[in-house]
Structure 1
Amino acid sequence: MKTSGNTILVTGGASGIGRELAERFYAQGNTVIIAGRRQERLDEVAAAHEGIVGYALDIADPDSIDAFAATVVRNHPELNVLVNNAGVMMFEDLTRSRDLSDADATIATNLLGPIRLTNALIDHLTTRPDAAIVNVTSGLAFVPLVSTPTYSATKAAIHSYTVSLRDVLKGKVEVIELAPPAVQTELTPGQSTRAGYMPLNDFMDEVMALFSQQPTPAEILVEKVGFLRFAEAEKRFDETLATLNDFARQAQKSGN
């Protein structure tokens, strides 16, 4: 993926990792489009960076995706990079029967959303030079956090989907996976200051250094996520699963 001269669409671009990606790609000389549910938050980012433009998008709504994609292609025909970043993370109790609305929303946002948006834009992207798709997954795609089972499952599914995309689009569109570790963002309550999570700025410094490599790695993996990414290959999956979830339980008890 080239580092400048792109027109890049970042979903979930008003906060957290999405905003950081948008701002850092913009600083490298790219045109950047951000999308999210709340127009006022998109406008805040755009106001701080002349040249970034924001469009409201409900990534869980198929009709919203189709209308959004048509608008973006019409207004920005140079679009050549899609970053599927928008996502939600919800805690669930699997020990009892429950309302599954949280699970439904997680699947619609984290799994069907990227699939639908990629589908809506793929015919356009395959006509563009230097086209790329970046799917943001998680270290939890490889070792699940059992208190967020649907989130972990959707990220595992997008990892698999990305492998398929990369193979079938070879020679047409570069397909990259960005799998973060636990990062200090607003993804869940209290996460932005949680001890043991990677500071957002440190994470992004490492991510952008990896994006600058030529060729761009198929998987953008900061050093800290290797503990999860390679757990199964290194035959320590069970140990890693226990360590990860023990840490999460202790953090929850302490209110962190």
Structure 2
Amino acid sequence: METTGNTVFISGGSAGIGLAIAKKLNAAGNKVIINGRSEERLQGALKELDNAVAIQGDLSIKTERLKIAEELKNNHPGLNIIINNAGAAFMNDLSDVNNNAAEKAFEEINTNYISVIDFTTLTLPLLLQQEDAAIVNVSSIAVFRSNKYLPTYSASKAALHSYTQGLRDTFSGNKNLNIYELYPPLVNTEFSAEIGGANGIPALEVADELFAALEKNQFEVPVGDTKQIHELVIPITEQAPH
């Protein structure tokens, strides 16, 4: 698709991967709308962008999703790309019965999966009005293999991955709407600091890979270490009936 002249909404756009993507698309001549829970962080991010817009709100809360979708409809009718990037992750020791594992999992599944489905549904009518539109779901290398540190986060991203495949199949006959999935590995951001993010790749690398994929209409977007796993797994899963 065209990588300039778009109107792009990015959840979790005030820091990390979301802000890196916002900078990349902003510099390429797109109208960027960033979203986050903290107004202070959003205002700080806007200082690093040119003529961008911020919409404060927590997409994990139904009433705020409705508010944000309505604001997009009323004030940004040209919206043609949404990037579902906001996420929640917790170290979750399943061997510790006092760990509140289910509560952590609930927040992860709500933020990383349920809210994405609902917000996508809310914005679909606007996207379907456009001649060239896209939905980008940011999943993770973790969709392919969980671990003992982030078992429930990995499960929530695996659910998002499965939903994204189904969404792509649903709109496979619509040439005006394309569904992308971005698979970052460990990335050096504040979000991943607790799990060794300092050893990860820079967020800019993720943004660069997504930008290149949009240019090429490459709907599967593995980044860094994810590429080797993706190359092995996806061709096999694509052979399954769907």
TM-score (norm 2): 0.89
Q: Residues 187-226 of structure 1: matches in 2 within 5 Å?
A: 187-190=191-194, 194-195=198-199, 197-213=200-216, 216-226=217-227
Which residue number corresponds to residue 44 of structure 2? Answer: 44
Which residue number corresponds to residue 239 of structure 2? Answer: none
Q: Residues 139-154 of structure 1: matches in 2 within 5 Å?
A: 139-154=141-156
Q: 1:201: how far off?
A: 2.9
Q: State the distance in 1 between where 2:157 and 2:120 align.
A: 16
2:50 counterpart SS class: coil
Q: 1:125: how far off?
A: 1.0
Q: 1:193 to 1:153 in 2, by over 3 A?
A: closer
**Runs of 4+ residues deviating >6 angstroms:** none
Q: Which amino acid aligns with 2:186?
A: A
Report if aligned partners of 2:188, 2:203 keep a CA contact under 8 Å in 1. yes
Q: 1:40 to 1:152 in 2, by over 3 A?
A: same
Q: Which amino acid aligns with 2:77?
A: P
Q: Which amino acid aligns with 2:68?
A: F
Report if aligned partners of 1:57, 1:64 keep a CA contact under 8 Å in 2. yes
Q: 1:233: how far off?
A: 6.4
Report if aligned partners of 1:9, 1:34 keep a CA contact under 8 Å in 2. yes
Point out which structure has higher relative CO (alpha carbons under 8 A, 6+ apart): 2
Residue-by-residue CA offset, 1:110-159 (whole Å, 9 max, x unaligned): 11111111011111111111011000000101111331111101111111
Q: 1:115 to 1:140 in 2, by over 3 A?
A: same
Q: Which amino acid aligns with 1:113?
A: S
Q: CA RMSD in A?
A: 2.0
Q: Gaps spanning 5+ residues in structure 2: where?
A: 237-242
Which residue number corresponds to residue 240 of structure 2? Answer: none
Report if aligned partners of 2:3, 2:211 keep a CA contact under 8 Å in 1. no
Residue-by-residue CA offset, 1:32-72 (whole Å, 9 max, x unaligned): 10111001111112233231111112111011101110011
Q: Residues 24-35 of structure 1: matches in 2 within 5 Å?
A: 24-35=24-35
Which residue number corresponds to residue 55 of structure 2? Answer: 55
1:120 counterpart SS class: helix
